[in-house]
């Protein structure tokens, strides 16, 4: 192995899907979130595997992500969580289901549908219950629903919201207030419409911690990839990022390492040069306090991480040029790697550059 590779373990994905599904009632639908290239993996390969496992729905952030899935042959319904007004044609061309989340988007989408003589287009309705990120609040929801009722261009498929703190049990009171508000608003909306709607609110940690918000469907993103917001569950990381020692440099006491004299050697130091840097998604913030695994040992970063390489301290570690380097895997996972510099696994995984070769492990 002479380069940096991201391995994507589809058997781990299947295992995680099984673990999460085991928490659900038999009739509850499962929506898999595959945005950001499947959390930095390979959204198409992830989606195809989940289709083979009879997934009910997919969710992406933007229309182009859904279009890519359609072009790869995915026929499963796809919710677009944050569609933009510029993507109307793409949404309708690829039969994607947009989230209606603001009057600006709603009004413009209705106008587009009418101008193209499109009727009963499937959409989802986002309710803001306290995350205050996207969606109609309780005062806006009734007005928005009236607009939808008064036109034949849109047909709602679901009502949904997003929980803010289900991984923190000390915030249970706030989470329950979100759930109760969603129940209240969705009940009013359902009474206004003459057809059934799917209700969905729960995320990965919500599935494990708050079964009362299971409703008709759940959404899982990070859990499918083996992580669960710091909670310990029987999930297996899907990602394994490995590289190689390209060169070993022997530095003497007083030598500097990296740009801006990022590190000074206090003793004779064995430096390993690894071909992965911030252009690959390993932030410069990992220059201090982070480590990789070389032959079972922790090798800490030294000097400032460069665009294409990072340097680690191999002093005391039996190693040679060409040896494998594990950035993260199942045992030393991306959450551990993230914690070393005060961030989260989401950021690590989704920052991984497309120039890193992907290898699918079946």
With b meaning 16 or more CB within 10 Å and e meaning fewer, what string describes 175-190?
Answer: beebbebbbebbeebb
Q: Residue 232 domain-assigned? A: no
Give a yes or no: residue 1 inside a domain. no
Q: Is residue 233 part of a domain?
A: no
> Do 208 and 244 share a domain, yes or no?
no
Residues 181 and 244 in one domain: no
Per DSSP, the three-state class of 130 is coil
Phi, psi of 64 (to 5 degrees): -65, -30
pLDDT of residue 232: 59
pLDDT, residue 288, reads 86
Closest by CA to 243, choosing from 289, 301, 284, is 301
pLDDT score at 94 = 98
pLDDT of residue 357: 96
Rounded to the nearest integer, the mean pLDDT of the chain is 94
SS3 of residue 354 by DSSP:
coil
At 229 the pLDDT is 60
Domain extent for 209: 10-225
Q: Are residues 140 and 215 in the same domain?
A: yes
**Residue 63 resides in a domain:** yes
From 183, 201, 225, the end of a domain falls on 225
Radius of gyration of the chain (CA): 24
Pull the structure tokens for residue 4: 């940096």
| Edge-to-edge strands, sheet with 247-251 | 247-251, 269-274, 310-313
188 shares a domain with 55 = yes
The CA distances from residue 266 to 105, 251, 273, in Å, are 59, 10, 19
- Does residue 260 sit in the same domain as residue 307? yes
Residue 277 and residue 311 in one domain: yes
Q: Measuring CA to CA, which residue among 237, 228, 100 is closest to residue 166? A: 228
pLDDT tens digits for range 77-91? 999 999 999 999 999
Residue 237: C-alpha distances to residues 195, 208, 274, 355 (Å) = 40, 17, 23, 21
The pLDDT of residue 231: 53
Distance (Å, whole) CA 228 – CA 241: 19
Instruction: Indicate whether 323 belongs to any domain.
Output: yes
340 and 276 share a domain?
A: yes
> Mind listing the pLDDT tens digit for each residue in 202-244?
999 999 999 999 999 999 999 999 998 655 578 999 999 999 9
Distance CA 282, CA 242 (A): 12
**Last residue of a domain, which of 225, 250, 279?**
225
Does the structure show a pLDDT above 60 at 1?
no
| Residues annotated catalytic, as ranges | 35, 259
Residues 195 and 169 in one domain: yes
- Domain boundary at 197, 225, 253, which? 225
Q: How far apart are CA 136 and CA 128, in angstroms?
A: 5
As a whole number, mean pLDDT of residues 47-54 equals 98
- Total domains in the chain come to 2
Considering the chain, what percentage of its residues have pLDDT values greater than 70?
98
pLDDT, position 136: 96
Query: Are residues 257 and 210 part of one domain?
Result: no
């Amino acid at each position: 192995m002479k380069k940096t590779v991201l391995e994507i373990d589809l058997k781990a994905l299947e295992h995680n899907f099984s673990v999460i599904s085991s928490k659900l009632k038999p009739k509850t639908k499962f929506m898999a979130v595959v945005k950001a290239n499947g959390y930095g993996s390979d959204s198409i390969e992830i989606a195809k595997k989940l289709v083979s496992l009879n997934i009910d729905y997919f969710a992406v952030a933007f229309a182009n992500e859904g279009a890519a899935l359609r072009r790869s042959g995915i026929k499963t319904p796809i919710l677009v969580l944050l569609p933009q007004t510029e993507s109307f044609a793409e949404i309708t061309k690829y039969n994607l289901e947009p989230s209606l989340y603001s009057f600006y988007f709603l009004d413009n989408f209705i106008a587009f549908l009418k101008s193209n003589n499109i009727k009963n287009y499937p959409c989802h309705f986002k309710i803001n219950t306290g995350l205050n990120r996207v969606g109609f609040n309780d005062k806006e929801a009734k007005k928005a629903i009236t607009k939808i009722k008064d036109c034949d261009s849109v047909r709602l498929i679901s009502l949904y919201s997003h929980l803010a703190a289900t991984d923190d049990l000390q915030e249970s009171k706030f989470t329950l207030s979100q759930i109760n508000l969603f129940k209240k608003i969705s009940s009013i909306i359902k009474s206004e419409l003459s057809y059934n709607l799917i209700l969905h609110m729960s995320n990965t940690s919500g599935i494990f911690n708050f079964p009362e918000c299971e409703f008709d469907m759940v959404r899982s993103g990070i859990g499918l990839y083996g992580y669960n917001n710091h909670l310990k569950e029987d999930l297996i990381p899907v990602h394994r990022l490995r590289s190689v020692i390209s060169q070993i440099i022997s530095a003497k006491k007083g030598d500097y390492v990296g740009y801006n004299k990022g590190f000074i050697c206090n003793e004779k130091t064995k430096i390993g040069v690894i071909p992965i840097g911030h252009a690959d998604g390993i932030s410069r913030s990992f220059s201090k306090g982070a480590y990789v695994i070389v032959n079972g040992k922790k090798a800490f970063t030294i000097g400032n991480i460069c665009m294409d390489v990072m340097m680690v301290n191999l002093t005391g570690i039996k190693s040679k040029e060409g040896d494998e380097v594990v950035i993260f895997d199942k045992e030393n996972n991306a959450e551990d790697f993230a914690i070393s510099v005060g961030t989260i696994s989401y950021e690590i995984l989704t920052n991984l550059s497309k120039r890193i070769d992907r290898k699918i492990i079946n």
